[in-house]
Amino acid sequence: MIKRILLRLTGIIGNLTSGWRGFTLAYIVETYDWSIKHDGESITHALNQQGLIRARITYCPCLIENQIVHFGSINTFFTKTGWNRPHPSNRIVLTWFHVEEGDPRLERLAQVQQEVDVIHTSCESTKQTLVAAGIDEHKVVVIPLGVDTTLFTPVIQEQKREIRKRLGIDPDRLVIGSFQKDGVGWGEGLEPKLIKGPDVLVETIARLKDRRPLILLTGPARGYVKHRLDELEIDYIHTYLQDTTQLPMMYHTLDLYLITSRLEGGPKSLLEAWASGVPVVSTRVGMVSDIAVNMETVLLAATDSLGLSQVVQHLLKDAGLRNRLVSHALAGIPSFDWKKIARRYSESLYV
């Protein structure tokens, strides 16, 4: 709580001086959300680096005038009793990645949409949900998430074996990755966040137990998954990384990345795995449905453990398929570099 208050105060002070420092975009991030903050940092860095617009992240929209205020998530826009109302001289952009069924904020947004100039989302399925709820479709712009292609890069097999050796992982072990937050809240995460499919993840891995997989986990609130894997006597390593620059090394240990979500706006891990040269097996969710091609850049399955495990088994048996998925994904990943995505932001959201 004290940290959040201090960050908010820092944001207010920054907002007071932003105008004379030449900033024209304030990207509002959450004080506790690791992913939203990382997105904001990546976008503003790419905008500044290319000279597209002077941008910065901040934790509140207070005292900002004559600028673009981009709320990086629905959580930064709505409050418990209303919504944040920046000065009317500002252009307001709001990002909403995915909409859970029954979320009361959907109806509230439909009622106050005149307060927002542009609503951004990362996938067509969320746009359809917003429009069906009464949001003006002309206000909704779909631009996918991005990835830092200088940070996430592929490695050759020899490098992969060396990284595994440093981490104490058998170089011949089957290693499956799951890098997300899939527990409720910011504690241990023993209650599953079902839209992320942690139950499907565990059940899929259970069907692969005869292959002795090692499950590599990152992200907060993974308690449910770890507890279930313990019950099944399946090996795992969980490392909650505080520094995103350490994340590429985690991808470099993997044989495949597994996405089992029921609902997504991204996930960003799809792009990170692609850029790292890791084959992906996924459910048909969010951005995956928009940008991935089954049997070309990803293997797709329904959200059930049997179908997912069968697809994984198929991938493990076919080296040619694995190589094709990786090569096609790597060929397409430059289109999703944050520099390209930031340019699309500047052309579609900030004009």
Q: What is the pLDDT of residue 256?
A: 98
Q: How far apart are CA 116 and CA 209, in angstroms?
A: 50
H helix and E strand count, the chain = 14, 12
Q: What is the pLDDT of residue 73?
A: 94
DSSP string across 11-50: HHHHHHHHTTTT--EEEE--SS-HHHHHHHHHHHHHHHHT
Q: What is the pLDDT of residue 17?
A: 58
- What's the mean pLDDT when you consider all of the chain? 93
Buried b / exposed e along 205-237 (16+ C-beta atoms within 10 A): bbebeeeebbbbbbbbbbbbbbbbbeeeebebe
Q: What is the pLDDT of residue 19?
A: 56
pLDDT (tens digit per residue) in 177-228? 999 999 999 899 999 999 999 999 999 999 999 999 999 999 999 999 999 9
pLDDT (tens digit per residue) in 152-176? 999 999 999 999 999 999 999 999 9
Could you tell me the domains of the chain?
A: 2-147+338-348 (3.40.50.2000), 157-335 (3.40.50.2000)
Q: What is the pLDDT of residue 109?
A: 96
